[in-house]
């Protein structure tokens, strides 16, 4: 049994951050029911080929959707219609948590704010993930992760000294906020189980990301310094960077934190005399001469494949790691040994790879076993089994466009 088995969550999320939170909770065993509008899912370029014999429904084969909504159920509801809102409130009555990451004005404008949900189920937990919070001058401003990366200062700190700010290469803000929201939901459920009280969680994505630039904030408040972009350099290590290797666009990361590691590095690269060079006598000296050191290290790494160079350095006690391609990650012996990736069959998209959460629990599994939901696949389960509607009532809702099994 999984740790959150028995917990039912209504997923009203969009984009990346909210789905990340609910997918993590689903991995932990919660029954997550995704509520979608009865319209086509937004199509992306990442549509995978269909399985032979499967119907041609590309909206069920969107790679990003199937990753973000693994192990969930799904139903469509038109919340602009009174009947759709009534169905949602009925679902709230048999659920524990609602998660949403829309602007703070959206749910209240539909009559589905926290007070309305609590009137239906007093101990409901509502987790909201507004970009900037539910109060303040920016409460109604919407944003995707890149906007938060910029406004949090992270983008300003990311990049090289001679270039402008850069965005992180992935959805850094969204995955950070998703993990924080999942943690907050579990804390709120713990409180509810002790006291019987539900509550409204508010996670401002901007404030969540400010936590990862805390060092820069402290440096300014305590020292009056405004941190600048430093590329791969480090304030207390040298050499510290990503160095070119043999091959097309192949690289290795190397970091030396003390004199002993520096001496070992000098031995590995065949430059024993550098360990006695006064320019590199200690960490501070090496930081001041990091350009010369980077040139020396690069001359050695360019002659070697990244994995071979990493093995040689690691054997000598020097922290190093090859910059792996995605294809290498799937075959990485460490990840394979730890059973990090699960293959889950999808009836229309075929075998799909899912990564388990970054933690393991010795008594309860966390691997994903269910594929992402097909469009409207759980209509009967939600409307008939959970809410007790008749076949005729469900058919009437479909005829009225309140719910749908195929996008209209």
Interatomic CA distance for residues 174 and 191, integer angstroms: 26
Q: For residue 40, give every residue at least 6 positions away whose Cβ sits within 8 Å of its Cβ, in sequence order, or none.
A: 59, 407
Q: Do 339 and 354 form a contact (C-beta atoms < 8 A)? A: no
How many other C-beta atoms are found inside a 10 Å radius of the C-beta of residue 356?
16
Rounded Cα distance, 89 and 84, in Å: 9
Burial of 385 (0-12, 13-18, 19+ CB in 10 A): exposed
SS3 of residue 310 by DSSP? helix
3-state secondary structure at position 311: helix
Which residue out of 27, 78, 96, 174 is catalytically annotated?
A: 174
* Helices and strands (H and E) in the chain: how many: 18, 11
Task: Please confirm whether the linkage preceding 296 is cis (ω < 30° from 0).
Answer: no
Question: DSSP strand E in 121-257: where?
Answer: 125-128, 199-202, 240-244, 251-255
Angle between helices 17-27 and 172-195 (to 10 degrees): 50
Q: Which two tokens stand for residue 33?
A: 């029911």
Instruction: Kindly list the strands in the beta sheet with 73-76, ordered across the sheet, starting from the edge strand earlier in the chain.
Output: 73-76, 31-36, 8-11, 97-100, 125-128, 199-202
CA dist list (Å): 396 to 35, 166, 360:
19, 52, 45
Q: Is 27 a catalytic residue?
A: no
318: three-class secondary structure by DSSP = coil
Could you please report the per-residue DSSP string of 54-70?
----GGG-BHHHHHHTT
Active site residues: 174
């Amino acid at each position: 049994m999984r740790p959150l088995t028995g917990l039912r969550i209504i997923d009203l999320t969009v984009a990346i951050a909210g789905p990340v939170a609910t997918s993590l909770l689903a991995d932990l065993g919660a029954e997550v029911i995704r509520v979608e509008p009865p319209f086509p899912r937004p199509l992306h370029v990442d549509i995978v080929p269909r399985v032979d014999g499967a119907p041609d429904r590309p909206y069920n084969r969107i790679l990003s959707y199937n990753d973000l909504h693994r192990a969930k159920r799904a139903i469509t509801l038109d919340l602009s219609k009174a009947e759709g809102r009534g169905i949602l409130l009925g679902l709230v009555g048999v659920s524990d948590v609602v998660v949403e990451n829309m602007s703070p004005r959206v749910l209240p404008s539909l009559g589905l704010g926290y007070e309305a949900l609590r009137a239906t189920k007093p101990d409901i937990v509502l987790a909201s993930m507004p970009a900037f919070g539910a109060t303040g001058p920016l409460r109604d401003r919407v944003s995707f992760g890149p906007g938060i990366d910029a406004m949090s200062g992270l983008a300003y700190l990311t990049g090289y000294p001679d270039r402008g700010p850069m965005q992180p290469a992935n959805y850094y803000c969204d995955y950070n906020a998703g993990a924080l929201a999942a943690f907050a939901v579990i804390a709120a459920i713990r409180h509810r189980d002790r006291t019987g009280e539900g509550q409204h969680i508010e996670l401002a994505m901007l404030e969540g990301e400010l936590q990862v630039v805390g060092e820069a904030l402290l440096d300014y408040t305590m020292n009056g310094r405004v941190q600048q972009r430093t590329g791969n350099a480090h304030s207390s290590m040298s050499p510290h960077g990503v160095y070119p290797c043999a091959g097309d666009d192949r690289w290795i990361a190397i970091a030396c934190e003390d004199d002993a590691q520096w001496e070992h590095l000098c031995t590995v690269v065949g430059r024993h005399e550098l360990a006695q060079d006064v320019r590199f006598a200690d960490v501070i000296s090496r930081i001041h001469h990091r350009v010369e050191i980077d040139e020396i290290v690069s001359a050695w790494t360019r002659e070697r494949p990244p994995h071979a160079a990493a093995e040689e350095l690691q054997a000598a006690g020097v922290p190093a790691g090859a910059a792996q391609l995605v294809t290498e990650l799937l075959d990485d012996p460490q990840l394979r040994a730890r059973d990090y990736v699960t293959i889950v069959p999808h009836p229309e998209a075929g075998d799909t790879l899912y990564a388990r959460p970054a933690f393991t629990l010795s008594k309860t599994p966390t691997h994903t076993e269910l594929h992402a939901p097909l469009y409207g696949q759980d209509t009967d389960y939600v409307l008939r089994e959970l809410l007790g509607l008749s076949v005729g009532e469900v058919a009437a809702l479909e005829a009225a466009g309140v719910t749908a099994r195929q996008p209209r």
